[in-house]
């Protein structure tokens, strides 16, 4: 599990969040007074199958507060800015208490960005006495009369498990910024009916879950929330208001079932959503088609890697990594790139007068990663100059095309940008490739294989987001590996796969590095395995705890990079960390 911060667009300041796992994104939002760590049991369990992001609400943990007097729609807008900066695309969204209000509001107003929504201990259309009571508490908190003992007594029962959770929650409450707490509580008190009229528009699978003894987020509210949408279910668990902590396993099981429910498309789209994305959402994937398997199948097509650049309306350079590039026509000279509707660059690029496509060279993996990660200034450490049409041209690329905008075409969850080439240039540098969620460097691979002395080959065998790991004989984990004999690396790789007892296709080279301590060069091949149990080792998700058991620092760095790249490889962009630390690269960018 990794905790980090990210700068959001104005006026939202800093976002604090925890993340773990790979796969389809699952975003978790806590309640008033808590922090992202409140979801720790679910984050650890669900990160085995999903990319889990637990966010600090504004004014809590490491996130900047909203302005005093902020209302629930302001928190919903904050969430949109957070997901845009994180570049998640459509998400599974779960919220607890105030987090449930935010999640429900987001599902109403941004249906194209929500795969499923889960509301844990959520409130919905309070009775008049309950509304008066919570508004009175909000007024006291705003006046500086903060009482944590009363809610703690209301939230927890007098059992050892509940009291242990109570102690942890009391610690978090004691750490909260009082101004941020008061602002959030005010929005929580006033927001229970904000989206009630739009509730029926929620078309994605909704889970409403609460504790049977929760006096304020009542079972009746959960039933009403589930009954008011097109695809709702309700679950009532033992406990009160903090079931994600006091009944952690049961909540995790409920969320696991919810995540397995088929996605559905919202029947209607709010006016706000239509305005921000000027096209209707694409039809959902057919129910007999696995979306992840479809993305993986798309990923078998080997592509190049580009950075698409332009300027926003203020002249600020912008760019993003993409492999969805193609030539279209020679007369007139046309090229195309595809941009996700959820991209933070959507508005600027669809309204731009033109753009440039930079074809990255093999030694420019770091540039690819720079323009794929969330960043305040992607151009700060990259050498570039304006092209003939004004778009940024990066130094050292294999080729570049500076284009005027010829046409934009709406296509499902993407928009196609067709540019007319006004100027271009090429170099002799071999291009960087991408396939099956990893970079491909054919020229570097050929050089490495030609230097085959003291060579060790390992098999990075992947299946459904998990990697085959084996006991290294010293109480840790490692990849299947062996020295390369006279027969060569391909034969050694085939022998490794056979010894594992798997049907796996020998893949391409994923990483090349020199292990100075062991006086050998190391080549790791990325291979895709079919179904079946291995004779040696087991398939394991690359969680933080798993990484700690990989004792070879070089392999651990490589696996951390692979986990990061694989997570976003499923969405057609490239996220990953350059091999660093004690590993010395044979070729630049490997």
The CATH number of residue 7's host domain is: 3.40.50.1820
Q: Is the pLDDT confidence value at 278 over 80? A: no
Q: Is the pLDDT confidence value at 405 over 90? A: yes
Q: Are 232 and 204 a contacting pair, CB within 8 Å?
A: no
166 pLDDT band, cuts 50/70/90, is confident
Q: In angstroms, rounded to a whole number, what is the distance separating the alpha carbons of residues 311 and 315?
A: 5
DSSP state of 286: P
Provide the residue count of the chain.
590
Q: What is the pLDDT of residues 424-440, one digit of tens each?
A: 998 877 888 776 555 66
Phi/psi at 571 (nearest 5 deg)?
-110, 10
Q: Is the pLDDT confidence value at 503 over 90? A: no
SS (H, E, C) 470-491: EECCCCCEECCEEECCCCCHHH
Are 43 and 187 contained in the same domain?
yes
End-to-end Cα spacing for the chain: 26
Enumerate long-range contacts of 513-520, CB under 8 Å, 24 or more apart. Answer: 513/554, 513/558, 513/579, 513/583, 513/584, 513/585, 513/586, 513/590, 514/584, 514/585, 514/586, 515/456, 515/554, 516/584, 518/456, 519/454, 520/454, 520/455, 520/456, 520/483
Q: Taking all residues of the chain, what is their mean pLDDT, rounded to a whole number? A: 81
Q: What is the pLDDT of residues 19-60, one digit of tens each?
A: 988 888 999 999 999 999 999 999 988 988 899 999 999 999
Read off the tokens for 77: 């807008």
Q: 539 in helix, strand or coil?
A: strand
Q: Name the domain boundary from 434, 468, 502.
A: 434
Amino acid 71: pLDDT: 94
Are 17 and 160 contained in the same domain?
yes
In a domain, 281, yes or no: no
Exposure of 140 by Cβ count < 10 A (0-12 exposed, 13-18 middle, 19+ buried)? middle
Q: What is the pLDDT of residues 64-107, one digit of tens each?
A: 999 988 999 999 999 999 999 888 889 999 999 999 999 999 99
Q: Are 238 and 211 a contacting pair, CB within 8 Å?
A: yes
Amino acid 95: pLDDT: 96
463 pLDDT band, cuts 50/70/90, is confident
> In the chain, helix, strand, coil percent, each to 5?
35, 30, 40
In a domain, 291, yes or no: no
Q: Is the pLDDT confidence value at 413 over 70? A: yes
Torsion sign, CA atoms 85, 88, 93, 94: negative
In a domain, 290, yes or no: no
Amino acid 442: pLDDT: 60
Average pLDDT over residues 539-565: 80
266 pLDDT band, cuts 50/70/90, is very low
Are 166 and 49 contained in the same domain?
yes
Q: In angstroms, rounded to a whole number, what is the distance separating the alpha carbons of residues 43 and 29?
A: 11
Phi/psi at 64 (nearest 5 deg)?
-65, 150
Q: In angstroms, rounded to a whole number, what is the distance separating the alpha carbons of residues 491 and 208?
A: 55
Q: Is the pLDDT confidence value at 499 over 80? A: yes
Q: In angstroms, rounded to a whole number, what is the distance separating the alpha carbons of residues 462 and 570?
A: 14
Percent of the chain residues past pLDDT 70, beyond the cut: 83
Amino acid 294: pLDDT: 65
Q: 283 in helix, strand or coil?
A: coil
Q: In angstroms, rounded to a whole number, what is the distance separating the alpha carbons of residues 26 and 207?
A: 14
Q: In angstroms, rounded to a whole number, what is the distance separating the alpha carbons of residues 37 and 2?
A: 11
Residue 309 preceded by cis peptide, ω within 30? no
Per the structure, how many domains does the chain have? 3
Name the more confident of 421 and 302: 421
Are 310 and 427 contained in the same domain?
yes
Q: Name the domain boundary from 384, 404, 434.
A: 434
Q: Is the pLDDT confidence value at 280 over 60? A: no
In a domain, 366, yes or no: yes
Q: Is the pLDDT confidence value at 583 over 70? A: no
Q: What is the pLDDT of residues 3-21, one digit of tens each?
A: 688 888 888 989 999 998 8
Are 346 and 410 contained in the same domain?
yes
Q: What is the pLDDT of residues 346-393, one digit of tens each?
A: 888 888 999 999 999 888 888 887 887 666 678 888 899 999 999 999
Amino acid 453: pLDDT: 52
In a domain, 288, yes or no: no
Q: Is the pLDDT confidence value at 515 over 70? A: no
- Write out the residue range of the structural domain in which residue 497 sits: 438-585
CATH number at residue 375: 2.30.110.10
Q: 587 in helix, strand or coil?
A: coil
Q: In angstroms, rounded to a whole number, what is the distance separating the alpha carbons of residues 322 and 50?
A: 23
Q: Name the domain boundary from 411, 434, 457.
A: 434
Amino acid 589: pLDDT: 30
Cβ neighbour number for residue 153 with a 10 Å cutoff: 11
Q: Are 18 and 60 a contacting pair, CB within 8 Å?
A: no
Average pLDDT over residues 508-530: 75
Q: Are 536 and 480 a contacting pair, CB within 8 Å?
A: yes
Are 367 and 335 contained in the same domain?
yes
Q: Is the pLDDT confidence value at 576 over 60? A: no
In a domain, 284, yes or no: no
421 pLDDT band, cuts 50/70/90, is very high
Are 429 and 446 contained in the same domain?
no
In a domain, 105, yes or no: yes
Name the more confident of 590 and 188: 188
Q: Is the pLDDT confidence value at 316 over 60? A: yes
Q: Look at the pTM and tell me if it is higher than 0.85.
A: no
């Amino acid at each position: 599990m990794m905790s980090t911060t990210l700068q959001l667009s104005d006026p939202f300041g800093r976002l604090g969040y925890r993340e773990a796992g790979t796969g389809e994104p699952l975003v978790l939002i806590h309640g008033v007074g808590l922090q992202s760590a409140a979801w720790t049991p679910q984050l650890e369990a669900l990160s085995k199958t999903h990319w889990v992001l637990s966010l600090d609400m504004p004014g809590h943990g490491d996130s900047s507060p909203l302005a005093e007097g902020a209302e629930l729609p302001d928190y919903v807008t904050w969430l949109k800015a957070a997901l845009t900066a994180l570049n998640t695309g459509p998400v599974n969204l779960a919220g607890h208490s105030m987090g449930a209000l935010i999640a429900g509001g987001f599902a109403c107003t941004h249906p194209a960005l929500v795969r499923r929504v889960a509301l844990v201990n959520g409130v919905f259309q309070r009775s008049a006495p309950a509304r008066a009571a919570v508004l009175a508490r909000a007024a006291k908190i705003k006046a500086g009369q903060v009482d944590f003992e009363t809610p703690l007594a209301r939230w927890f029962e007098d059992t050892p498990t509940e009291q242990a959770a109570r102690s942890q929650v009391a610690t978090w409450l004691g750490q909260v910024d009082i101004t941020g707490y008061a602002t959030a509580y005010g929005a929580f008190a006033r927001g229970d009916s904000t989206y009630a009229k739009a509730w029926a528009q929620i078309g994605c699978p909704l889970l409403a879950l609460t504790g049977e003894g929760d006096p304020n987020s009542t079972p009746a509210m959960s039933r009403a929330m589930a009954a008011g949408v097109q695809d709702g279910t309700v679950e009532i668990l033992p406990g009160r208001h903090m079931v994600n902590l006091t009944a952690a396993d049961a909540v995790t099981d409920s969320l696991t079932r919810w995540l397995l429910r088929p996605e559905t498309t919202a029947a209607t789209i709010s006016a706000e959503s239509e305005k921000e994305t000027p096209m209707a959402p694409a039809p959902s994937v057919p129910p007999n088609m696995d979306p992840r398997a479809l993305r993986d199948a798309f990923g078998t097509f080997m592509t190049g890697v580009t950075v698409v650049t332009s300027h926003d309306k203020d002249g600020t350079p912008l760019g993003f990594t993409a492999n969805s590039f193609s030539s279209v026509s020679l007369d007139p000279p046309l090229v195309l790139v595809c941009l996700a509707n959820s991209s933070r660059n959507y508005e600027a690029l669809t309204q731009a007068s033109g753009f440039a496509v930079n074809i990255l060279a093999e030694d420019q993996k770091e540039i690819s990663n720079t323009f794929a990660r969330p960043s305040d200034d992607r151009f700060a450490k990259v050498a570039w100059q304006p092209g003939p049409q004004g778009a940024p041209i990066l130094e050292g690329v294999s080729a570049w095309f500076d284009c005027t905008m010829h046409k934009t075409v709406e296509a499902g969850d993407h928009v196609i940008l067709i540019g007319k080439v006004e100027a271009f240039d090429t170099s002799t540098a071999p291009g960087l490739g991408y396939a099956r969620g990893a970079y491909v460097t054919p020229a570097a691979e050929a050089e490495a294989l030609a230097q085959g002395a003291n060579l060790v080959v390992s098999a990075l065998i992947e299946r459904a987001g998990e990697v085959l790991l084996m006991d290294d004989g010293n109480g840790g984990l490692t990849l299947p590996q062996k020295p390369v004999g006279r027969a060569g690396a391909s034969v050694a790789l085939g022998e490794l796969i056979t010894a594992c007892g798997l049907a796996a296709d020998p893949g391409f080279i994923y990483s090349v590095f020199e292990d100075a301590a062991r006086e050998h060069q190391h080549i790791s091949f990325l291979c895709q395995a079919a179904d079946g149990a291995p004779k040696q080792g087991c398939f394991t998700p690359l969680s933080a705890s798993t990484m700690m058991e990989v004792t070879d620092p070089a392999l651990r760095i490589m696996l951390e990079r692979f986990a990061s790249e694989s997570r976003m490889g499923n969405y057609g962009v490239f996220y990953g960390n350059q091999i660093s630390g004690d590993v010395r690269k044979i070729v630049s960018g490997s």
